Amino acid sequence: MALGIERDGLSPYGTARRLFNACAAAALLVAALVMPSAGAAAAETVRLLALGDSLTAGYGLPEGQGFTARLQAALRAEGYPVEVINAGVSGDTTAGGRARLGWALADAPDAAIVALGANDMLRGIDPAVARANLDAILGELKARGIPVLLAGMLANPSLGRAYTDRFDAIHPELAEKHGVPLYPFFLEGVATDPALNQGDGIHPNAAGVDEIVRRILPHVVMLIEPLTGAGERPATRG
């Protein structure tokens, strides 16, 4: 005995089952198109290494107010999925940065900012030594295919014309040699301004860090933009 009325060889039960299967398949297709997997989402994040000294590390500032944290927040506010890795060590010279470069690269960065040289200058280290260390750092990053933004430093005029001329030429010459973009002076707009520095007159306060980030941000965007994937990218604010 038939359990239901059949039409065109299909029972009401069979029709309902086929309709359910079709809807389920459609739902899975939509989910696959709209919701990327966790692995795909993670792959889109750009890991940006900030190799530097106390200016990078955030010396004297609460957590979250240092350069790397504020730069990461600014980039994400612009729509760029970036993780900024804080590889700043207070008191570090170019020699220190060179010595720990391999350790820093263990974080597998996609791009890097190199901001070293301030402590070499403050200690009066021979500019030729600082140049050689930075040259080696940039050479290693280039060999690994890691794009770099080189952040420059300027010598204190009190060190004398002969020293300042040699020191100030380091970053521009190396940027040209290695074909990397140069941000000429990391402390541009902040150095010597009491309102933007801590009591020591050397390290930026929270407002100073925000000013540094505001000025360097367009340069960082140009560095990481090719790594963020194809398609339209968010426009940066001036």
Active site residues: 54, 200, 203
Half-sphere exposure of residue 18: CA atoms within 13 angstroms, side-chain side: 6
Q: Measured between alpha carbons, how far is 87 from 107 in angstroms, rounded to an integer? A: 10
Helix (H) or strand (E) segment spanning residue 12: helix 12-34
Cα 198-201-205 angle, rounded to 5 deg: 25
- 46-52 β-sheet, strand order: 82-88, 46-52, 111-115, 148-151, 182-183
Quickly tell me which residue has 């790594």 as its tokens: 227
Nearest to 74 by CA among 233, 224, 210: 210
Q: What is the CA radius of gyration of the chain?
A: 27
Give the rounded distance of the alpha carbon of 176 from its chain centre: 21
CA dihedral 117, 121, 125, 126 (to 10 degrees): 80
